[in-house]
Amino acid sequence: MRGKCFLFVLLLGLAATIGTTQPAEGAGFALYEGSARGNALGGAVVGRADDPSAVYYNPAGITQLPGLQILAGATAIMPSTTVVRDDGTYHAQGHVWVPPHFYATYQFSDKLWFGLGAFSPYGLGVEFDSNWPGRANNIKTIITSVNMNPTIAWKMTDQLSVALGLDIMYFNLDMKKTVLAYPLRVDTELKGDSVGYGGNIALHYRPTDWLSAGVSYRSQVTQNLKGDAKFNPNFAVFTDSSVNGSITLPDEICFGVAVKPAPQWSVEAGFIWTRWSTYKDLTMEFGNALGTVSSPKNWHDTMRYNLGVEYKATDWLDLRAGYVFDEEPIPDSTADYIVPADDRHNFSVGPGFHFGPWNVDISYTYIYITDRDASTSLAPGVAGTHSRFVNGDAHLVGASVGYKF
């Protein structure tokens, strides 16, 4: 009976996640909104890893979860940014993106656990007016993704656990810009998608009741996109055609150490290292006379530092707060209007409520994006202008609901 219930909640949660995955802004175009509790703690839950969202943060931690448990929710992200050029000030169009998440964990024995997650590891949503002067670089770029992550965790000893998982990632890209302005304006929209595969491995170590640590590694995922290019109007070499491209999404290492200085308090500090240097260029192969078109990116590796504090106020209420410093991977030489941003400071808070087998987590995060001078950029449509990215920020509201069977 419990096995049938487990299968039902898996199918229900995965269907909901696939059906509603949408993009949002992140450093580069990564997303870190794995759960509302994780959001409130600034993602500092790699060492704790003590609820079903551990499938996302550190799957080795699911060996702390007895029986069958599920967790599902979403984060509403409301970003804003402004581009200042020599010819005026331009605001990105306002949107609300809502990437969801779903996790289920099941204990097979005293040594073996299974977990499954569905979440959005990458996303981007930036759109400007179709007639703005920077349209040769970008009018609209939307990236969506959903990652299916089955994982097996093994409790090697009472203190040490290890996990191994598979990443099955769907990736979708939609880009629109102006490719020719004279003698006739020609706009193009590229749409393509792909499914790529990777893996992850994790460790969780809990030597005492007051100290725990975790490390998790996710591999690169290569996406070989196939789709269509539409040109408006069709003109000379700019004719509708197929389009193919390849992008290698970065591998990353997450690390965290959690301590409990008192029974009611828990503090964790950690980092995420992301190898964005895998993103060297964006190359598209058109099926028309355009042939191969490539633009350099040359992104660099980044660090994301986090700190999270949780206080158990009562048996039914937890209070949480977190801080993140997130480095931007884009160098000055290729800064563009696709990701008009710089380093980020994240400030987050949120409560957690416990009602019998139910858990409800709420989070609010404010992201302050530092201003950036992109005047030295060599990116097409940006080079030769005095461009600045200013007043960038985002408001994030997350909610997750969990149940222990």
Q: How far apart are the C-alpha atoms of 328 and 335, rounded to whole Å?
A: 10
b (16+ CB within 10 A) / e for 140-175:
bbbbbbbbbbbbbbebeeeeebbbebebebbbbbbb
pTM, 2 dp:
0.91
Q: What are phi and psi of 193, to 5 degrees?
A: -145, 170
**Secondary structure element (H or E) that encloses residue 89, with its range:** strand 88-91
Q: Provide block-wise average pLDDT over 10 residues at a time, the chain (405 residues).
A: 46 45 61 96 96 98 97 96 94 90 97 97 92 94 96 97 98 94 90 96 96 97 96 91 94 98 96 95 91 92 97 97 97 93 96 96 97 93 93 96 97
In the chain, the amino acid numbered 183 is P
Q: Position of tokens 């949780």?
A: 310
DSSP classification of residue 62: G
Q: What local confidence, expressed as pLDDT, does residue 19 receive?
A: 44
In the chain, the amino acid numbered 95 is H
Residue 224 in contact with residue 194, Cβ under 8 Å?
Answer: yes
Q: What local confidence, expressed as pLDDT, does residue 26 receive?
A: 52
The tokens describing 89, both together, are 């000030």
Would you state the torsion angle of the CA atoms of residues 53, 57, 60, 66, taken in this order, to the nearest 10 degrees?
Answer: -20
Beta-sheet pairing, 302-312 with 372-373 = unpaired
Cα-based angle 311, 313, 317 (whole degrees, multiple of 5): 100
DSSP classification of residue 251: P
